[in-house]
Structure 1
Amino acid sequence: MNASSNTIRYRTLAGTVLTQFALGSVYTWSLFNAQLSAKLSEPVSQVAFAFGLLSLALAVASSLAGKLQERFGVQRVTLGAGLMLGLGFFLTAQANNLIMLYLCAGVLVGLADGAGYLLTLSNCVKWFPERKGLVSACAIGAYGLGSLGFKYINLALLARFSLETTFELWGLIAMAMVVAGSLLMRDAPQQQAAAQQNASHDYTLAEAMRQPQYWMLALMFLTVCMSGLYVIGVAKDIGESYVHLPALTAANAVAVIAVANLSGRLVLGILSDKMPRIRVITIAQVSALAGMLTLLFVPLNAPLFFLAIACVAFSFGGTITVYPSLVSDFFGLNNLTKNYGVIYLGFGIGSIVGSIVASLFGGFLATFHLILALLIIALLFSLTIRQPGTTKDEEFEAEPHLGKA
């Protein structure tokens, strides 16, 4: 790679990190549930459903990102996503009923976040085929760090301004960062098949979807997303109503989740360049399983509660960091945005299902039991799945190299 291309790809990485940091701010949503509940005179559970819709819209937009990039290019799509994100938060500030909240904070903000998230991530990974795990960790780590950074930004804004003004300023700051990041990005060149050591050939989306491994990966992804997104969306509320913590103590759950989420992205992302990525996913699943078992079967106090949600957040952050590279290992790099895009629908579906189960069956415990059952199935899948077209012996031979491009 010549010096000019090297400069472009590092500028693209910088723009991606900046954009991901701003897009990750949506994970501070639980800070606003109580105030929005009071403003709209609606139950917290109904207000929190906006985050589930946001996650679903995010996933839908992510699944379409490949088509948008083909037509408009990464820079224009990301620029548009930034402008839409600012508009979504501005309209959220004006919301005076649940329907408007769902449309603005759920659908509009979610579509904007999703249009920028997977597109910029996949494009950045393509620029660095030799360091897919590390670059994913940097980019998605910034997404996780955004939730931590904006926790303090949004708390400071709430302390000084009204709820409405806070949403408007949040939108302005996030929009400015995404727009600035988009100006640094360029579309990655097509990868040569010979450069890909982890897949026999590039599968089209149709070819990939005919493989049973594709749907095994999809269920594994959906399960970890359900556990992570559900806990993230109502963490503060779980602490108050389930563990009976004071409101200020329960609010620390946001910071605990942000740190654990970021740690999972960095630790497991870097680890995925040193060992088979599917084994990294197994580690993530065991972490989520430990957290869910603690929430369900251990008498909880503040430290144990924070430890349990940290395990779930660590698993979630690590999984969504490793998964783009894992999908490219199985199905090739050139069609990654499309192949991962459909799997990424599990991000939104998992969040919605978790919220619906909680609403229909009486709260947190019903969702926790469903997640526990799915985690056991997903763990079995990760221990038995093989790459398409390989036997068990061939897989064993290839495994030491699976994590390296």
Structure 2
Amino acid sequence: MNTQTNSRARWFTLAGTIITQFALGSVYTWSLFNGPLASKLDEPISQIAFAFGLLSLALAVASSLAGKFQERFGVRNVTLGAAMLLAIGLCLTAYASNLVMLWACAGILVGFADGIGYLMTMSNCVKWFPERKGLISACAVGAYGLGSLGFKYINSQLLAHFSLETTFQLWGLIALLLVAAGGLLMKDAPRQEAKALRNTNDYSLAESMKLPQYWLLAVMFLTACMSGLYVIGVAKDIGESLVQMTSSAAANAVTIIAVANLSGRLILGILSDKMSRIRVVSIAQVISLLGMATLLFVHLNPMLFFISVACVAFSFGGTITVYPSLVSDFFGLNNMTKNYGVIYLGFGIGSIVGSIVASLFGGFMVTFQLITVLLALSLMISLTIRQPGEASRPRKTHFELGQAQGK
């Protein structure tokens, strides 16, 4: 492939990735459907919300397999398959008549489709732009966050004008068209030469998993996901229960979270090309700690509630944007999809653990306490962790790191 064709392919791939990520981000509007589904199935909201936990787990499992699917079928074909599966899952959700069917369709099917498309397309796009990993991650993953904001209004309007069943069907059709259109624009990224990469060591998944740094990064990622996904999944219910807000007022948390999530992805993603990425993660952890501490220790009013959940969402969005490039800094770019895929299992595990703790030990506050402790531990890890082999070579200054990442 000549240079001109290569250049055109990577920009088309970026455009297709942004379109696809926008549609996949629509799953973050799930809390809009907790109430209507609880009424339809005559089940408590906590049981309905468990579907989002299953969705997150299936998303994470699918992401860990994405690299193998891409190697066998190519990014375009796998994305088209994800589009079909996503539409089928949402359309079947429209006919769910009990919790098991809801969990299977909205949780497992939709989550698996979303996960296959999310990590694979984003990683492939980053590989096309090795010189601007942070910026491209911000664009791709930012589009995912923007999708939650855009579909908040799309799905709200659909719910206002159509039945719950028709809303799910239309959502599935819109998602199908967008993901398929994006997939048709994509091409697989060429393999990077080691000399062109900042990190000359390309670790395989097996090699990475033998290093302590791999599991320390996994703990930090799991913690960030537990805090972000738990708060996102029940934000409206937190507002109603802890702040005694009306249902319509608490629903504004969905918009606040979407804006904060998108802002974190864009701001921290771009910042990660200017300074050490692990320090960007440390900043995100401090912001999340402030938000969780507010939820735990401050008497909440609506303004403080919105600020606190915004802090958590900002941190979560920024962390999952920076992490793919952070993993490639530690373990190389060529195997990033596989290396990040296993760490990404923390996305689903974190969501499930938060929901289980809330169910077993009395709701929001106990979960907030656990998340706060884990965030403090993660901050200590991020401040002390070093890249593999870094202890044996002279340490670079923050200026040199920024120059290396931003050149």
Shared fold per TM-score greater than 0.5? yes
Q: In the alignment, which residue of structure 2 is the partner of 1:357? A: 357
Distance 1:101 1:388 in 2: 44
Q: CA deviation at 1:241?
A: 1.1
Q: CA deviation at 1:403?
A: 3.3
Q: CA deviation at 1:399?
A: 3.4
Distance 1:36 1:395 in 2: 55
Distance 2:368 2:285 in 1: 15
Distance 2:176 2:264 in 1: 26
SS of corresponding position for 1:94: coil
Residues 1:352 and 1:74: Cα distance change in structure 2 (over 3 Å): same
Conserved? CA contact 1:264–1:318, under 8 Å: yes
Deviations 1:21-78 (A, max 9, x none): 0000000000000111111111000100000000000000000000000000000000
Q: In the alignment, which residue of structure 2 is the partner of 1:183? A: 184
Distance 1:350 1:396 in 2: 33
Conserved? CA contact 2:261–2:313, under 8 Å: yes
Q: Which amino acid aligns with 1:187?
A: D
Q: In the alignment, which residue of structure 1 is the partner of 2:196? A: 195
Q: In the alignment, which residue of structure 2 is the partner of 1:237? A: 237
Q: Which amino acid aligns with 1:40?
A: L
Deviations 1:289-323 (A, max 9, x none): 00000000011000000000000000000000000
Q: Which amino acid aligns with 2:204?
A: T
Q: In the alignment, which residue of structure 2 is the partner of 1:293? A: 293
* 2:211 paired with 1:211: yes
Q: Which amino acid aligns with 1:169?
A: L
Conserved? CA contact 2:131–2:405, under 8 Å: no
Conserved? CA contact 2:67–2:337, under 8 Å: yes
* 2:391 paired with 1:391: yes
Percentage of matched positions with identical amino acids = 71
Q: Which amino acid aligns with 1:144?
A: G
Q: In the alignment, which residue of structure 2 is the partner of 1:46? A: 47
Q: In the alignment, which residue of structure 1 is the partner of 2:58? A: 57
Q: CA deviation at 1:391?
A: 1.4
Distance 1:216 1:7 in 2: 38
Q: CA deviation at 1:393?
A: 6.8
Matched ranges for 1:4-43 at <5 A: 4-43=5-44
Q: In the alignment, which residue of structure 1 is the partner of 2:323? A: 323
Distance 2:201 2:213 in 1: 15
Q: CA deviation at 1:200?
A: 3.5
Conserved? CA contact 1:124–1:188, under 8 Å: yes
TM-score relative to the length of structure 1: 0.98
Q: CA deviation at 1:242?
A: 1.6
Distance 2:378 2:401 in 1: 20
Q: In the alignment, which residue of structure 2 is the partner of 1:90? A: 91
Conserved? CA contact 2:25–2:147, under 8 Å: yes
Deviations 1:129-177 (A, max 9, x none): 0110000000000000000000000000000000010000001001110
Distance 1:192 1:317 in 2: 30
Q: Which amino acid aligns with 2:394?
A: E
| Between 51-60 and 241-250, the greater mean CA deviation after superposition | 241-250
Q: CA deviation at 1:402?
A: 5.4
Q: In the alignment, which residue of structure 2 is the partner of 1:272? A: 272
Distance 1:129 1:230 in 2: 33
Residues 1:5 and 1:393: Cα distance change in structure 2 (over 3 Å): closer
